[in-house]
Structure 1
Amino acid sequence: MGRLTFSINLTLDGCVDHQEGIADDETHAFFTRLMDEHGAMLWGRVTYEMMEHYWPAVARGEVEGAPPAVREWAVKLQAKPKYVVSATRKDFPWAHSHLVAGGDDLRAGIQALKDATPAGVLLGSGKLATALDRLDLIDEYQLLVHPRIAGHGPTLYQGGLPATRRLTLVSAKPLRCGAVAMHFRRVG
């Protein structure tokens, strides 16, 4: 059975607005390495829709001025299996995209995806992470904490959890830009 790893950019005050992180070659390399280490990507519908028009264009070389690290991420993402949780959308035309039904079957759908993906699944949606953490499905957390205080939301776990999650630190690595890559595993 593969593990489900939640990974996201966040500021010191917990903001997960994708525009608040530092997007440089080193941070893109961090996420490319994470993607390489996992067998599939998992997003909620909103995150998928935010990405589905931009990243395929970068992969095709249609975005002028995309740095090499960004292009590398896009090309690898294009080829990676992508799973999307949605209760409202059924068609996902981006290459290698598949539906995971939301709603009552969410636990079973995600558990089946984990079971079918020995290399693990990389989750990259904040709201979906809250829902999956409530179901005790997240095994690891790979957070890229940026040296910024955004002062606004959305914030990580804004919807709350029923109980505190105990984690153990696996590693912490500072990047040149001042962000810290932190890897945690759930305890128990």
Structure 2
Amino acid sequence: MRTISVTMFVTLDGVVQGLGRPDEDTRGGFEHGGWGAKYNDEIMGAEMAAGMGEPGDMLFGRRTWADFHRAWGTATDGNPFSTHMNAATKYVASTTLPDVDAWQNSILLPGDAAESVAELKATPGNNLAIIGSAALVRSLHAAALIDRYTLLIHPLTLGTGTRLFDGAAPLTEFELTRSVTTATGVIIAHYSRR
């Protein structure tokens, strides 16, 4: 059985929307896009590179897959993250995409996300990693399918924006297995399901 690990960049008030750039995700009139850029440093880079060093496949929701495809899918810059993203098998949970042929090594998981991901998780193969895809993470968390979280907790509040858990999340206990603090004050906390 595969495991599912989630990496989420989150503010102190739980916002996960629009980390990378101003135009990344403006749904709901969100005006704080790009809030995470000034917190990047060598420690964070090393932590993210360590995660990329582990063999595994990627799991995406529709919006994040499309955004990552635009950012990384055509990159030929030699960036190790670009190379990793393009080489990885990318499973895309979506009820609206007709296909995912636009980005190499992408496989569509149609229908109910929790059901299709549960079926995938039960098959032999590489472990699955999710970066972003908050709606997908919420549905998989509710179905008890998430095994590990890596939360990059940024030292700011935004007051508005999509949160990791909007509304109630089911009672689930996790154990802190490791943590690192960056020079910019980001706490990188690694949790495993108890």
TM-score (norm 1): 0.84
> 8 Å contact 1:15–1:156 — kept in the other structure?
yes
* Residue aligned with 2:144, SS: coil
State the partner residue of 1:15.
Answer: 15
Give the residue type in structure 1 aligned to 2:156: R
- Aligned pairs, how many? 175
Distance, in Å, in 2 between the alignment partners of 1:9 and 1:39 is 20
Distance, in Å, in 2 between the alignment partners of 1:4 and 1:84 is 14
Deviation per CA, 1:104-140, whole angstroms, max 9, x where unpaired? xx33421232233544111121110000111111111
Give the residue type in structure 2 aligned to 1:6: V
State the partner residue of 1:45.
Answer: 62
Match among 149, 152, 157 for residue 141 of structure 1: 149
State the partner residue of 1:95.
Answer: 104
Distance, in Å, in 1 between the alignment partners of 2:172 and 2:11 is 20
How big is the shift at 1:180? 1.2
1:56 pairs with 2:63: no
Gaps of 5+ in 2: 20-33
Q: Taking structure 1 as reference, are residues 26 and 75 closer, same or farther at Cα in structure 2, changes over 3 Å only?
A: farther
State the partner residue of 1:156.
Answer: 164
Q: Taking structure 1 as reference, are residues 49 and 159 closer, same or farther at Cα in structure 2, changes over 3 Å only?
A: farther
Match among 32, 35, 39 for residue 49 of structure 2: 32
* Residue aligned with 2:122, SS: helix
Gaps of 5+ in 1: 62-67
Runs of 4+ aligned structure 1 residues displaced above 3 Å come to 23-26, 115-119
TM-score (norm 2): 0.81
Identity rate of aligned residues, in percent?
Answer: 29
CA RMSD of aligned residues (A): 1.9
Indicate the structure with greater helix content.
1
Match among 113, 127, 133 for residue 135 of structure 2: 127
Distance, in Å, in 2 between the alignment partners of 1:169 and 1:155 is 21
